[in-house]
């Protein structure tokens, strides 16, 4: 068991993956969200991150919803936002990398700087994202995922599937509890 909760920052793409999932009981994104809901993770957000999540999920929900299930998909998008807001610590980042040329030069999408601001300020250990290319230039091993660094803070960029695998090997009891809870939901 970890000494404290595992500090994370969820990128919006994790919520998009959960929203589009056909099988929540098998979805790595839903696994991560279940671990958050069950208080095994300590997730951090900022006002900017919440606004991006609301906007993006509303658009994606409208795109993926058919006429027959539109209300259900929109309700699920709202539920995902509520889950994040209820189970995350909202912070005001202590840094703003949008003025740091060394960060701007290597980030793929400048709108993602808000996630790095929170990772750094919260000293999060994991940035969970399905868009690994957006943050891959911070990975020190040369891949798109793995150990990353910004200034003097090391963290891990992982997809939901990689994080599920990590938890299963490093903390099997926690992973098993998350799997069981997810199947009940």
The model's confidence at residue 67, banded by pLDDT at 50, 70 and 90, is low
pLDDT tens track for 120-153: 999 999 999 998 888 878 888 777 888 999 999 9
Map out the domains of the chain with their CATH numbers. Answer: 6-184 (3.40.50.1010)
Residues with Cβ within 8 Å of residue 106, at least 6 apart in sequence: 137, 138
Confidence at residue 136, expressed as pLDDT on a 0 to 100 scale? 76
pLDDT at position 184 is 61
In degrees and rounded to multiples of 5, residue 159 shows phi and psi of: -80, 170
Give pTM, 2 decimals: 0.93
pLDDT of amino acid 124: 98
The secondary structure of 104-134, three-state, reads HHHCCCHHHHHHHHHHHHHCCCEEECCCHHH
Residue 12 has pLDDT above 90, yes or no: yes
Give the mean pLDDT of 154-168: 96
């Amino acid at each position: 068991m970890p000494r404290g909760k595992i500090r994370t920052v969820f990128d919006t793409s994790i919520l998009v993956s959960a929203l589009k999932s056909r099988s929540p009981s098998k979805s790595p994104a839903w696994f991560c969200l279940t671990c958050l809901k069950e208080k095994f993770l300590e997730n951090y957000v900022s006002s900017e991150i919440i606004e991006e999540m609301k906007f993006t999920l509303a658009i994606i929900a409208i795109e993926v919803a058919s006429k027959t299930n539109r209300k259900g998909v929109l309700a699920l998008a709202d539920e995902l936002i509520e889950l994040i807001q209820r189970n995350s610590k909202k912070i005001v980042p202590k840094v703003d990398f949008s003025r740091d040329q060394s960060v701007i030069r290597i980030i793929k999408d400048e709108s993602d700087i808000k996630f790095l601001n929170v990772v750094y300020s919260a000293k999060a250990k994991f940035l969970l994202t399905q868009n690994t290319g957006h943050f891959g230039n911070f990975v020190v091993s040369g891949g798109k995922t793995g150990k990353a660094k910004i200034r003097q803070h090391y963290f891990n960029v992982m997809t939901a599937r990689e994080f599920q695998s990590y938890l299963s090997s490093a903390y099997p009891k926690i992973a098993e509890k998350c799997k069981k809870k997810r199947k009940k939901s």
